[in-house]
Amino acid sequence: MQTEPFMCSRVTRGEYIVTIDDFFAILYKNGYGQDLVRINDNTADNVFFINKNYYKYEVGYRERGTIFEPRSFSTEEEALRYLLKRIANIE
């Protein structure tokens, strides 16, 4: 089990499971604030979001009530990995 902070290059290559806590820690480590992403919040604007909708996870960017580049994933981990790549260009 890894005890050091996650290495970004390892997280998105499938070696570790990404949880929401890990996701925000990686963003913070790369200079992004927590207010950039909202979890299950359908009201905030000018943010990336991840929402659980029944059996899928929806991600995208919301600005002025309009959703841009929506994507759906079957697992939370897939959605978080996509957002890491989209926001921080971490691969």
Q: What is the DSSP string of 7-68?
A: PHHHHTTTSSPPPHHHHHHHHHHTT--GGGEEES-SS--SEEEEEEETTEEEEEEEETTEEE
Distance CA 19, CA 81 (A): 10
User: pTM above the 0.85 mark?
Assistant: no
Q: For 35-81, how does the pLDDT look when each residue is reduced to its tens digit (9 = 90+)?
A: 899 999 888 899 999 999 999 999 999 999 899 999 999 999 999 99
Query: What is the total count of domains within the chain?
Result: 1
The answer to whether residue 3 is domain-embedded is no
The answer to whether residue 2 is domain-embedded is no
Q: What is the pLDDT of residue 17?
A: 66
Q: In terms of residue numbers, what domain contains 56?
A: 8-88
Distance CA 57, CA 18 (A): 14
The answer to whether residue 1 is domain-embedded is no
The answer to whether residue 71 is domain-embedded is yes
